[in-house]
Chain A
Amino acid sequence: MNNSSIVGISVPRKEGQDKVTGRAQYIDDIVLPGMWYGATVRSTIPRGRIKQITFGAEVAWDDYVIVSAKDIPGKNCIALIAEDQPCLAENCINHPEEPILLLAHADRHALAKAVNAISIEYDPSPAVLTLEESERCCDIIWGSDNTFKTYVIQKGDIDSAWAKAAYIVEGEYRTGAQEQLYIENNGMIAWFDPEHGITVWGSLQCPYYVHKALMTLCQLPAERVRVVQVETGGAFGGKEDYPSMIAGHAALLAIKTRKAVKIIYDRLEDMAATSKRHPSRTRHRTAVSKDGKILGGTIDFTIDGGAYTTLSPVVLSRGAIHAGGPYYWPSVRITAKALATNAPPHGAFRGFGAPQSLFAMERHMDRIAQIIGASPIVVRQRNFLKPGQTTITEQAVREPIDLEKLLDRALELSSYQSRKESFAEENESGEIKKGIGVAAFLHGAGFTGSGERYLGSVVGVEACADGAVRVLVSSTEFGQGTKTALSQVAAETLGLGYEDVDVAPADTMEVPNSGPTVASRTVMVVGSLVCSAALGIRHALRQSGWLGDSYSPEEFRAACRNYVAAHGALRSWSRYEAPPDIFWDDEKHRGEAYAAFAWAVYIASVRVDLTTYTVSVDDFVALQEVGRVLHPVLAAGQITGGVAQGIGLSLYEKVIWQNGRMQNSQMTNYIMPTSLDVPPIRVFFEELGNVHGAFGAKGIGELPIDGPAPAIANAVADALGAPCDCVPLLAEDIFDILTTRVATADRSGSPSR
């Protein structure tokens, strides 16, 4: 038995060679014989009815294949949680950029002109464009009250909290829409033949989501729909639900043309039409004791879901459960709502609601500190959750987490105290104001509540004829290192070399449904299943007599070869089973919300230049407890990547809306951080040695996006001595904050500084 550990080592990324040499095949790199190209004709208004569609005379329409809602063989919807989103709008328009018609042509250059030659006349209706308009219900655009979902989480007796409070602290916090901005735009290729049904290849996160959507749309049985993920150039949640739409479109064109059809979005279309992070508004009202202890409070968490349900209920749920942060609330009532507006549906983006509600919580902690006259550090220390206490869903903290210690270490790593002092001195004069801000937070790994039980994920491990071992999962690789980490887990479990194990392509014909690749669940949940499925292989080899009690990797390979030669394929399956003692009430959102939490303290140092009102981040410390770190380089890369996206969310990335439509759908005016905009991002891990998931690993993918926005906003507020309760904080926003603030000397016009 090979004892040298593979877990915990930075082995080379499985598909790394292909990526650095340019050999990796992404969807736009793939060409099928006789392939046609598809394009989408979209609505230009936020709400109304289609009156008439005119095809311009300047185009030879006979050369095109045109698909409308009438061509849909099955149900005209993108099946996910609800079935309210049409695949092609037939009559009613509910948001700009809503797909209406599809075109295909043999020459990809012939499409843009044709799309432009189609003019659509509408009967417009009044549109609902903001949360406030949606709440007012003057126009009902969804259901009976514009509400996709409401959750109320209630813990303890809030009334008595108000009575005992020395302070009642209120605040309202907002976050904007954020584009995932994976550098590879969305794309799909579909192919149809009556015998085999539909096959799609694409850039996507969740093969079985697409599979389900295509079955409904094309009215085909499971075995006649095949979904294959190809190399995917970034996703971040952005390729969780929308790929089902594009796959549907490509499939409809493939059915009608009887050709392979490729649809590739360009950047303009990808940004304008596909989902973004839900904009949010959070209102806190908190009862606080004299010494800064939270006694209880209410949290109203409202998100803008856009025009259709899509994933909003799930995003809402995660946001609501994280709304109390890593603090102990004796009593709390959280009211969470996802509302409809006439914008393209907002969807999954790394963090999934948690970055929004945690931004509010962590800004609010600083507000509490300010109001009671304590330091932000002390207020956090007073309220940190401790082992044995319960979260807002009354889940007991069982891990030996010591948040005070985590905070202390982060303070030390960021030289918090000495910076605080020197900033205070430096800020007395000059145009540069410096500040430092803290965010403490947690992130639940895996699906919420009974989610994993409903999913019932299945994982396979296969012994191959050549002696290698293959992991069979629908969990996808899109940069986070799924293939590498799951190979490590299987190799470690079986005592094999890393190179003896590989992960099969995510092809629904080949791999079982191991659930979607979301929610930081892959290593923890799927990894555990990989362990047990791998052990099943070993067991079978031993049972059959091909493998002894102790073995070398070479003996294991020989055993696989012999077994397959003698008995045929050897596969072992493992299905998720919920631990029996787990309680979760979905209606009340009470109980064990997550199998595990990752914990973190992030500290940002910023400077604000009062000549230009621009903020830059000078230093960023990211300290977290994520269980066992399986692969230090991949793990650090997840953190730095998430922090950079969080910096974007905080300071740069603003979607400019007009009539429900994104105005800045180009990389030149939707501003993501470049290599000159990120500070040194210093990543540290704390390992508790607790046992969760595969070899003690908890989720890591989403955590790092939760902390930057509040840490940075707190730092900017510290620098300016003014509240910064909305992100992003562009220079124009800082300017507005400073100039609309009362009780501040009017700077403009006074040259004395």
Chain B
Amino acid sequence: MRSNPRDYQLVAPGTLHAVLSLLAEAPGKWLPIAGGTDLMVLYGAGKLAARNLVSIWSLPELRGIEVLPDQVRIGAGCTYAELREHPVIAREFPLLARAASWTGGTANQNRGTIGGNIVNASPAADSLPALLVYEAELILVSVRGERRVPYLGFHTGYKTTQLAGDELLRAVCLARQFSECLHHTRKVGARSAQAIAKVAIAALGGVAGGRVQEVRIALASVAPVPLRLFETERAVKGKSIDKCLLAAARRATVSEIRPIDDIRSTARYRSAVSSNLVEEFLRRLSAGAPI
């Protein structure tokens, strides 16, 4: 353990209101900690810069999954275990349920929260491509009130977000409109469990009359932020899937991603696998295979 607990302050005001007031007192001073599965790793390695932490773990206002007629509202404090076990998530948002099921091992899934994954803003985060594809909306809250922002665009750059210093992420909203679509996801990690994605895809789509009607594709670990592949989507939308289209989709994919060489993989590999994954999805889409 490379940090000294003496140097850190951690408080747990216990209610959302109390936490928000504390944040408002000195915006940017206090760093929220939920399940700690990102922050405590930094802490152990002596790399946690923030000295004042406020616990939001088990704040009742951030818990729970609310199923409304037209949308599902997931509390930011929802853990992966809760997500993967929820029947509506499993049925209607399988990309998210699957992502939850491969985010670390059991213990990690019992503590890691979706809010933490979003705000931590790693380009490799597992649940984020799913949120891009489902076009999630985020509810941010502060003493100033609530605001809704589209998740797309929430990440402004590598590990930066639109969250203000006095705000918390309160919930994630998903519209219940994808039950007709083919959902496709795959994570490519260094091993079968407990692996950070080298590349991951989440996608959904539908084909009618031989042509691609609906298509949404997102990738992790190929850019400073999780990436929606709008160019690639444009290249295939309304077209019928044939060799020529697959080639165009691969080209579009490679042109819009910005993979890098790092400790986990190489840009060359990531680029090739990205287009393979996109092609694999489109092939499944054309074959109409179920998830």
Indicate whether A and B interact.
yes
Chain A interface residues toward B at CB < 8 A: 109-110, 112-113, 116, 266, 268, 431, 610-614, 616, 652, 656, 663-664, 666, 668-669, 671, 673-677, 730-732, 735, 739, 748-752
Across-interface contacts of A109 in B (CB, < 8 A):
1, 3-6
Contacts of A613 in B (CB 8 A): 269, 272-273
In whole angstroms, how far apart are the Cα atoms of A121 and B232 in the complex? 52
B243 contacts A731, CB within 8 Å?
Answer: no
Collect the chain B residues with CB atoms within 8 Å of residue A730's CB. 190
Interchain nearest-CB distance for B289 vs A (Å): 14
B114 at the interface (CB under 8 A from A): no
Q: Which residue from chain A places its CB closest to the CB of B266 in the assembled complex?
A: A732
A593 smallest CB distance to B (angstroms) = 37
23 contacts between A and B (CB under 8 A): A109-B3, A109-B5, A112-B4, A431-B280, A610-B276, A611-B277, A612-B188, A612-B276, A652-B190, A656-B263, A663-B263, A668-B196, A669-B264, A671-B190, A671-B195, A674-B191, A675-B193, A676-B191, A677-B193, A735-B269, A735-B272, A751-B247, A752-B243
B137 close to A (CB within 8 Å)? no
Closest 8 CB pairs of A and B: A751-B246, A676-B192, A109-B4, A112-B2, A676-B193, A671-B190, A674-B193, A611-B276
Which A residues are CB-close (under 8 A) to B250? 748-749, 751
B193→A732 contact, CB < 8 A? no
Evaluate whether A616 and B188 lie within 8 angstroms (CB atoms) in the complex, with A109-B1, A113-B4, A663-B263 already known: no
CB distance from B230 to the nearest CB of A (A): 21
Partner of A673, one of B2, B191, B266: B191
Q: Would you call A751 and B4 a contact (CB within 8 A)? A: no
Is A748 within 8 A of B4, CB to CB?
no
Other contacts beyond A664-B263, A674-B191, A751-B279: 8, CB < 8 A: A113-B4, A669-B263, A673-B191, A677-B193, A731-B265, A735-B269, A748-B250, A751-B246
Please tell me if the beta carbons of A612 and B193 are within 8 angstroms of each other in the complex.
no
Residues of B within 8 A of A612 (CB): 186, 188, 273, 276-277
Is B268 engaged at the interface, CB distance under 8 Å to the other chain? Answer: yes
Distance (Å) between the CB of B235 and the closest chain A CB? 13
Residues from chain A with a CB closer than 8 A to the CB of B26 are: none
> Is B170 engaged at the interface, CB distance under 8 Å to the other chain?
no
Interface string of B233-263 (1 = CB under 8 A from A): 0000000000110110011000000000001
Partner of B275, one of A266, A616, A668, A748: A748
A750-B272 contact in complex given A616-B192, A652-B190, C-beta closer than 8 Å: no
* Of listed A656, A664, A732, residue having the most chain B CB within 10 A: A732
Question: Counting CB contacts under 8 A, is B45 at the interface?
Answer: yes
Report the bound CA distance from A751 to B186 in whole Å: 19
Determine the chain A residues whose CB is within 8 A of the CB of B244 once the complex forms: 751
CA distance A612 to B278 in the complex (A): 12
> Are B3 and A112 in contact, with the CB atoms below 8 A?
yes
- Cα A113 to Cα B279 in complex, Å, equals 50
The answer on a CB contact under 8 Å between B1 and A266 is yes
Cα–Cα, bound, A652→B266 (Å): 15
B-side interface size class? 35 or more
Cα-based distance from A678 to B20 in the complex (angstroms):
47
Question: Does B155 lie at the interface of the complex (its beta carbon under 8 Å from any beta carbon of A)?
Answer: no
Once bound together, how far apart are the Cα atoms of A109 and B44, in whole Å?
A: 11
Instruction: Give the distance in Å from the alpha carbon of A431 to the alpha carbon of B191 in the complex.
Output: 19
- Pick from A610, A669, A752 the residue with the most CB of B within 10 Å: A669
Q: Is residue B210 contacting chain A, with contact meaning CB distance below 8 A?
A: no
A664–B3 Cα gap in the complex (Å)?
A: 20
- Which of A266, A610, A677, A739 interacts with B192 by CB under 8 Å? A677
Q: Tell whether A611 pairs with B193 under 8 Å between CB atoms, given A113-B4, A749-B247, A750-B247.
A: no
Q: Does B58 contact A (CB under 8 A)?
A: no
Cβ-based interface call for B228 (8 A): no
Residue positions of B touching A, CB distance < 8 A: 1-6, 41, 45-46, 105, 186, 188, 190-196, 198, 243-244, 246-247, 250-251, 263-266, 268-269, 272-273, 275-277, 279-280
- Residues of B near A268 (CB, < 8 A) are 2, 45
| Residues of A contacting B5 in the complex (Cβ-Cβ under 8 angstroms) | 109
Known contacts A113-B4, A668-B196, A749-B250, A677 near B191 by CB under 8 Å: yes
| B273 nearest CB neighbor, chain A only | A612
Q: How many Å lie between the Cα of A669 and that of B268 in the bound state?
A: 19
The distance from the CB of A118 to the nearest CB of chain B, in whole angstroms, is: 15
Complex formed: what's the CA distance from A266 to B43 in Å?
13
- On chain A, the residues within 8 Å of B191 by CB distance are 652, 671, 673-674, 676-677
| Given A671-B190, A675-B193, A751-B246: A732 and B1 interface contact (C-beta under 8 Å) | no
Of B1, B264, B268, the residue contacting A735 (CB under 8 A) is B268
B243:A748 contact, CB within 8 angstroms: no
> In the complex, what residues of B have CB within 8 A of residue A677's CB?
191-193
Interface centre among B268, B276, B279, by most A CB within 10 Å?
B276
A112 and B3 alpha carbons, distance in the complex (Å): 7
Nearest-neighbor residue (CB-CB) of A656 within chain B: B263
Interface-central residue, A652, A656, A730, by most chain B CB under 10 Å: A730
Docked-complex contact A674 and B194, CB < 8 angstroms: yes
Residues of A contacting B269 in the complex (Cβ-Cβ under 8 angstroms): 613, 731-732, 735
The chain B residue sitting closest to A264, CB to CB, is B1
Query: B192 — which chain A residues lie within 8 A by C-beta?
Result: 616, 674, 676-677
- For B248, the closest partner residue in chain A by CB is A751
Q: Within the complex, what minimum Cβ distance (angstroms) separates A609 from chain B?
A: 9
Residues of B within 8 A of A750 (CB): 247
Q: Which residues of A contact B46 (CB under 8 A)?
A: 112, 116
Taking a contact as CB atoms under 8 Å apart, the answer to whether B268 and A611 are in contact is no
Provide the bound-state CA to CA distance between A673 and B3, in Å.
29
Give chain A nearest CB distance to B136 CB in angstroms: 26
Question: Does the CB pair B246–A731 fall under 8 Å?
Answer: no
Q: Which residue of A lies closest to B242 (CB)?
A: A751
A354 to B246, CA, bound (A): 48
Shortest CB–CB separation between residue A655 and chain B, in angstroms? 11
In the docked arrangement, what's the CA distance between A659 and B243, Å?
A: 46
Cα A731 to Cα B189 with chains together (Å): 9
**Closest Cβ neighbor of A658 among chain B residues:** B263
Query: How long is the Cα–Cα vector from A748 to B275 in the complex, in angstroms?
Result: 8
A residues near B273, Cβ cutoff 8 Å: 611-613, 731, 735
Residues of A within 8 A of B4 (CB): 109-110, 112-113
Q: Is A611 a contact partner of B280 (Cβ separation < 8 A)?
A: yes
Docked Cα-Cα span, A732 to B198, in Å, equals: 10
When distances are taken between beta carbons in the complex, the residues of chain B under 8 Å from A676 are: 191-193
Docked pose: A666 CA to B196 CA in angstroms: 13
B263 close to A614 (CB less than 8 A): no
Q: Which chain A residue has the least Cβ–Cβ distance from B6?
A: A109
Bound-state Cα–Cα, A266 to B265, Å: 25
Minimum distance in angstroms from B65 CB to a CB of chain A? 27
> What CA separation (Å) do A431 and B105 show in the bound complex?
28
User: How many Å lie between the Cα of A671 and that of B198 in the bound state?
Assistant: 13
Complex formed: what's the CA distance from A112 to B45 in Å? 10
Chain B residue at smallest Cβ distance from A654? B190
Shortest CB–CB separation between residue B272 and chain A, in angstroms?
Answer: 6
Shortest CB distance A85–B (Å): 27
Which residue of B190, B246, B272 has the most chain A CB atoms within 10 A of its CB atom? B190
Residues of chain B with a CB closer than 8 A to A671's CB: 190-191, 195
How far, in whole Å, are A109 and B158 apart by their CA atoms in the complex?
32
Residues of B within 8 A of A614 (CB): 188
Query: CB-nearest residue of chain B relative to A674?
Result: B193
From residue A610, how far is it (CB to closest CB) to chain B in Å?
8
A708 to B269, CA, bound (A): 26
Decide: A739 near B188, CB < 8 A? Known: A112-B46, A668-B196, A751-B247.
no
B184 to chain A, nearest CB (A): 12
* A675 CA / B246 CA spacing, docked (Å): 36
